[in-house]
Amino acid sequence: MPILPLGIPPEKYFYNRKDELKRLKNHLNALNEDIAEQILMTGYRGVGKTSLLKKLINEVPENILVSYVDISRIYGIQKGELTEELILSELLSSMNEAIGKKRIKFTEKVHGKLNQILNGLKLKEYDFREAGTLLGISIPDVKDNYLKLSQFVMQLPQRVVESSKGEIKGFLIVMDEFQLIGELKKPSAFFWMIRSYTQEQSNVSYIFTGSISRTSEIIDMINGPNGAFGGRMIQFNIEPFTREETRGYLTEKVPEITFTDDGFERFYECTRGIPSYINTFCNTLSSGDVYTAGKVKETFFKKMDQITVMWIKIWGTLTPKEKEIVVSLVENGPQTWSSLLESVNFSRASLAKYLDILKNKGIIGLNTEKNYIVDDLLLSNWLKTKREMDGYYPQ
């Protein structure tokens, strides 16, 4: 049985994405000319956004520092209680790590101070009265002072570049699973805060990415006409592998699997070129068999739990109300807001709240007629199949 990675692919498993990498690198190279571009990367769940960014991070030029923050990590640790302070301290911690990795002349000094600040933040002691300033930025000295903390964290990357006297030309900050910022009490304000700093910083680029549908409100909040970045962010959608890429990927990484032509077609139809499905599906196939369309279909239904493992995990994290909304959409197909409200057993306010959460999780989106739909075919197929086989939806 072939084994394809289910996490971030090691170099030898990473396939293609050459054009995307080239485009991203061009945007980053602008930092050398003191032009900082901001990027919003979208794409289906499992399409390979994180993998692509990790690859990019490994390949950025020596003179660019990189911070990578995964908001879902903080969200997970805090069991869903996300606050601005937590995001900022995670950001600060990843900046500190980035500085530590490069031996620049002030690494030791900055590292030492930042460690002290970070320890304080962990203990919720924002009291650094003794600390004074760092690279000319005053260190927050008031307990729980979000404003000062944000000033400090947001100014730090540009200040690092300036203080390095040419050694460092830019700071790249990647915020993965950024859609979870939508769970803050005032997400808009947070984006405006970031925007207010990026406007003045010519050497700090942000890449926001996550599992978001393109129609999610959070996209508007950050980059819509009235959003914080008002359309100035470069929107970058990562597409699934094309039919040819899927074929190329399979031939290169798992040549031991044999498909007939119609078998491959069926495989492509089932996975729609989404690498995470390609990988999990491949891992259920055997090298001794020849996969015809019929055999692919049969295996797909038999091994569905293994193939949709990503959704099984996510399903387990949804609340009963969120599940009820998804089930209603699976059973009734696309629905308007009001028909959805009729079909679920709770109030308008709850529906609005949970729909937002589901959109921000990339589970529900809007179709071209502006009706709500389940954004992932495999998720709805999995739920339908479970209902048929077990008589009820997964708990």
Ligand X SMILES: Nc1ncnc2c1ncn2[C@@H]1O[C@H](COP(=O)(O)OP(=O)(O)OP(=O)(O)O)[C@@H](O)[C@H]1O
Which among 273-281, 333-341, 344-352, 379-387 is the span making contact with ligand X, rule CB under 6 A?
Answer: 273-281
Give the CA distances from residue 184 to residues 179, 268, 312, 319, in Å, rounded to whole numbers and listed in that order. Answer: 10, 38, 26, 18
Per DSSP bridges, beta strands 133-134 and 137-138 are antiparallel
Q: For residue 376, with 0-12 CB atoms within 10 Å meaning exposed, 13-18 middle and 19 or more buried, which class applies?
A: buried
Distance CA 176, CA 210 (A): 5
| Contact partner, 47, from ligand X, Mg ion, none, Cβ < 5-8 Å per class | ligand X
Give the CA distances from residue 2 to residues 13, 244, 250, 256, 341, in Å, rounded to whole numbers and listed in that order. Answer: 12, 20, 11, 8, 46
Q: Which is nearer to ligand X, 227 or 275 (CB)?
A: 275
Which among 6-14, 30-38, 184-192, 195-203 is the span making contact with ligand X, rule CB under 6 A?
Answer: 6-14
Q: Which is nearer to ligand X, 128 or 281 (CB)?
A: 281
328 binds Mg ion (CB under 5 A): no
Whether 207 contacts 41, CB under 8 Å: yes
Q: Which of residues 34-53 bind ligand X (CB under 6 A)?
A: 43, 45-51
Q: For residue 8, with 0-12 CB atoms within 10 Å meaning exposed, 13-18 middle and 19 or more buried, which class applies?
A: middle
Q: Which is nearer to ligand X, 122 or 243 (CB)?
A: 243
| Maximal C-alpha separation, the chain | 72
Which among 11-19, 81-89, 285-293, 334-342 is the span making contact with ligand X, rule CB under 6 A?
Answer: 11-19
Whether 300 contacts 329, CB under 8 Å: no
279 binds ligand X (CB under 6 A): yes
The site string for Mg ion over 19-58 (x = CB under 5 A, - otherwise) reads ------------------------------xx--------
- With CB under 6 A as the rule, give the number of residues binding ligand X: 21
β-sheet bridge partners, residue 291: 259
Among 38, 276, 335, 380, contact with ligand X (rule: CB under 6 A): 276
248 binds ligand X (CB under 6 A): no
CB of 5 to ligand X, least distance (A): 4
Among 193, 275, 282, 354, contact with ligand X (rule: CB under 6 A): 275
Residue 144: how many other CB atoms lie within 10 Å: 11
Place of tokens 């969200």: 75
| Contact partner, 13, from Mg ion, ligand X, none, Cβ < 5-8 Å per class | ligand X
CB of 343 to ligand X, least distance (A): 28
Q: Which is nearer to ligand X, 7 or 391 (CB)?
A: 7
Tokens (6 digits) for 196: 């207010």
CA 259 to chain centroid, in Å, comes to: 33
14 binds ligand X (CB under 6 A): yes
Under 8 Å CB-to-CB from 14, ≥6 apart: which residues?
Answer: 51, 55
246 binds ligand X (CB under 6 A): no
The site string for ligand X over 202-241 (x = CB under 6 A, - otherwise) reads ---------x------------------------------
Binding site for Mg ion (CB under 5 A): 49-50
Residues that bind ligand X (CB under 6 A): 5-7, 9, 13-17, 43, 45-51, 211, 275-276, 279
